[in-house]
A and B are shown apart, each in its own frame.
Chain A
Amino acid sequence: MRISLLFLITLFGVSICGYAQNKQLLYDFTEIPQSININPGAEIDYQWFAGVPALSGVSFQAGSSGVSAYDLFANDGLDFNVKVRERLLNGMSTRDELSGTYQLELFNIGFRGKDQNIFYSMGIYHEGDAIGYWFQDYALLAIDGNADQLNRRFDLGDLKTRGEMMNVFHFGINKSIDRKLTLGVRAKVYSSIFDFNSTNNKGFFVTRPGSNNTFSSTLNADMRWRTSGINEIKRALDDGTLGNTIFKRGFFGGNLGVGIDLGFTYKFSNQTVLTGSLLDLGLIYHANDVENYTLVGDVTTEGVEVILPDALVNSNEDFWQNLVDDIEEIVPFENNFNSYITFRPTKLNASIRHNWGEPTLRAANCDCGPYATSSNRVEKFVNGVGAQLYMINRPRGPQTALTAFYMRRFGNFMAVKTTYTIDKFSYSNIGLGLNLQAGPVNLYLLADNLLAYRNIANTRYTSFQLGLNIISWGKN
């Protein structure tokens, strides 16, 4: 009964494992089974594993490269409008972003095949991801307006945002080619719940001295806002059927896509290891519940113009309405239902690690008692130090993070990894990961940007991950 309950929970349960987009603590932390999800070519030695629900909660990553909540909302007695002007309008650029990601592991298992060199893994996870860049010129128009700014072009391209929610179904194969090289590949099917994106806007709004009248106002717009699933979500909110709708769309009732992860581990020697992975090389085709909005055109106006004698031809002409109609015709705000494709934010990870110290004991060598079986455990050194590179494709180009890490193993029951990461969010990001192994039970807790915990409100980046797995190094 307990086994079947465990099995059911494992299959359909709510093992909550949250990941940041950059999972520098989890990457190459091969004691943790989820590390195979960010490097399908990781060198793993389990016979099988299964994610287990144990610790409920929400795991997430959120970052703001411009300001923190504390910068704006600290109870410091300063005029809020002054803070908005100094820290947002004057303090941020269009490369600053507000972004967030979460992943919720619904089901995750892995097992070694008959060929002991091949390890299969599969699962389902739920993911939400959104990013919005600081829309500087829109904010300036909204706070200051266009007065006394002749010839200043307000860039409509400052609107750059995207977001999505989906379920991901994945199946991976990890093969140990020889003692030096391990390769991995993971196929993914994306079931998009909703998507919105407006990332390729162009155009400007400018006020210049007019040729006839005092000012000429020009709107040059090439803007697109694409959505899928949003209308159905809105209807579900009205009908009180949000849960059902998300479930249905997340299980192949929305829009579908495919993708692939690739990864490798290469040992130059027992002590020097190179790894790399390319994740979410994929796309989603949106054809279900699509609605897009466009604003395209180029118009210049100097207000209502009445030039005699031409204006005398029709004395009842409504010049104002004609002007409005002309502008709406030249720069129409329209909607359409055309299908579209989005590319997933592809991630690149790489690391080089040097190990030293006493190798940990193989499980088969331990004092395990009369029921001990053979094991696949690979030799691991007590210490590891190295560097990692992370890149992700974002609407304003790739974002990069560099990490230095140190890993320490305490026998087979505990491993600790600490990281120092530099990226656009922080230059003082120190993270700590703890992995505990109690028999077959594996518990891990990874927390990022620990210095920020002195005042969480003042952090521009935070993430944490936790999870519980059952791992076996014995036979199937």
Chain B
Amino acid sequence: MTATRRRLPVLAAAAVAAAAAVWVLFLATDTPAGTVLDEPGAFVVTALDAVTFAGLLFVAASGFTLIFGLMRTVNMAHGSLFLLAAYVAVGVQQAMVGKTRNIDASEVGIADWLVPMLAGATAAAVVGTVIQQVFLQWNEGQELRQALITLAITVVLADQMLREFGGLAQRMVWPGAVTHFITIFGQRYATTRLFMLGVAVVIGVLLWLWLNRTRLGMVVRAGVDDRQMVRGLGINIRLVFAVVFFAGAFLAGVGGVLGASFAGAAPGTDGAWLLNSLVVVIIGGLGSIKGAAAGSLLYGTVVAFSPAYLPSQYSFYAIILTFGLLALVLAVRPYGLYGRPA
């Protein structure tokens, strides 16, 4: 009896997933995409949209979860670092190309994208490290206070960025070499989205290698498990904190540059991406990189599929499914998919 009751949420989640699959496969006739049987191309494109967007989500959220996992700091300034990197990268790209508007992809070499990306991410990492050293270090262990401090920093940074970069949306231009279209099942698909996914995969692999194959990465993982014991083994945890904050802010910055290339950067992007990162890590489990990957995939899937496969007159309500996903995951696993009680 109790075993059945314990399995009930899992069964409910499986039932919801199965129902969604049946709907998408056979029943979704009056939807923008149509059923998989009628319109396989629309399905493949939607699935690609889901995976590529998940790549961007992962880059942004992995930095957030890395910082939280080790330091228990909910870095509310994560979105600000995302936006700051985007603005810096756009500025550097414009300087490198020599034009401030109407830049065409054909004018952008790979280096004209990569160098601004590294510059933007490094700027975010430096600002993030300064925030950690100046404001967070001496509030170590006071999680609520740290969250409030970073929230305040978000407000200040948003104003300063508005003053510095203006209120108009700015766009980072993808390199011409990756700006093409390919045809999949009769549907045109932008290769820039696949490039974005490729960058995310490279970031994910590097992150994995760092955490699993280097001594510092092992220390970081050990710190996630038991911070005090790491200190008891003579490891200078403050230095590790600074490095991890640098890395987490750098990842926010890479996400910001990808995001600015994908959808532009404007005031408000910071809040939107803080929210995106939060949703991903709540689904995946705070502090888990694996969770960030799984959460990104789930969230990306819901974001891509719900407007395409809801009946046309209800497309407007797609956003509700995101929160439905959150509620479902938290009902099944209250600490997120890969989360552990603190």
Q: Please say whether chains A and B are actual partners in one complex.
A: no
What residues make up the interface of A, taking CB atoms closer than 8 Å to B? Answer: none
> Interface on B for A, CB 8 Å cutoff?
none
